[in-house]
Amino acid sequence: MRRRNIKKIFKLIQKFYKNILPQLPQKSTNRGRPRKYSDVLILSLAVLKELLGLSFRETLEIGTMYFNKVPSLRDFHYRVLQLEEIIKHLINFIHDTLQCEIESIIVDGTGIGFKKHTTLNWMRGTYVRQIKNHVRCEVVLTKGKYKLFQYVEVGKAYSSEIKLLKKLLKKIELKGKKFIADKLYDVKWLREYLKKRGIKEVIKIRKRAIGRKEVDYEEYKERNEIEGLFGNIKTKLGGYVYAYREDMARIQALIKFLLYNLYVAYIFLFTQLWNDITNFIENHIKIYKFYIIPCKIR
């Protein structure tokens, strides 16, 4: 996110959120205290937190520079925990809005760490090792006019990536010419899923596979692009999140992928506006020449 135009990001969130309202689960009709702050405000503050690497308290202090009123620390923390489905729908909607023809579908998983420590009691020896916990993100990247994340599913640490993909495919439908993945995804049900939809499988086969040819290296090496995107996101936004709870770490991990799609949307809208301006100028120059040429003084 080299272009950190925070106000533009807030406007994009508001614009896309209005379009996904029909897709969101209906809120409970039970009586209770009405919400004072909108989901757009809470989501914008959560994006600001992750973009600048702030704590919850620092986010609210800086948020007063952009918004007239901000929630209390307790309300903000509580409302952020309810954003998981909204963020997933936003990632998918931005993808479907911008991406036209899909050439390649690349699938892989990555981990985002958070501050809670886990003891590896299964390790032998007198010393019990402690590691920072993480959440597992299963990511679907598509390549067409742009590189965009189509959907992201988040699970617990060391979750099975193939099970996360199966859960993910119940929510979206893959469309594209070829599906690229490593040998972890060389399973029968996935190959049948791709065959039904006419998608070419470029999946590295397992060692014990019989009767199937190895994939073409020129096609398979496109998988490096999703690894490169993971590296860029973790370099610019951090490979961990400031959270002590797993449910909060899930939300903040999703926001990292949402920020990338918002960045692409910002570039798309900027280039579209620039093309409209240039076309407008060119058309008016042609009209100007059309009327001025016959009026030359001889």
Residue 34 per-residue DSSP state: P
Could you tell me the pTM of the whole model? 0.84
Mean of per-residue pLDDT scores for the chain: 83
Whether the predicted pLDDT of 243 surpasses 50: yes
Say whether 115 sits in a helix, a strand or coil: strand
116/79: higher pLDDT: 79
User: What pLDDT is attached to residue 296?
Assistant: 40
Instruction: Give percent of the chain above pLDDT 70.
Output: 79
Report how far apart, in Å, the C-alpha atoms of 28 and of each of 17, 25, 31 are: 19, 9, 9
In degrees and rounded to multiples of 5, residue 258 shows phi and psi of -65, -40
Closest CA to 255 of 273, 274, 269, 241: 241
Mean pLDDT value of segment 8-15: 87
Report how far apart, in Å, the C-alpha atoms of 76 and of each of 168, 237, 244, 248 are: 28, 21, 16, 12
User: What pLDDT is attached to residue 282?
Assistant: 61
Residue 1's pLDDT band (cuts 50, 70, 90): very low
Length of the chain: 298
Cβ neighbour number for residue 242 with a 10 Å cutoff: 17
Write down the residue that tokens 């040429």 correspond to.
293
> Is residue 227 a contact partner of residue 40, using CB atoms and an 8 Å limit?
no
**pLDDT-wise least confident of 34-38, 77-81, 233-237:** 34-38
pLDDT tens for 68-90 read: 999 999 999 999 999 999 999 99
Mean pLDDT value of segment 225-236: 92
Whether the predicted pLDDT of 279 surpasses 80: no
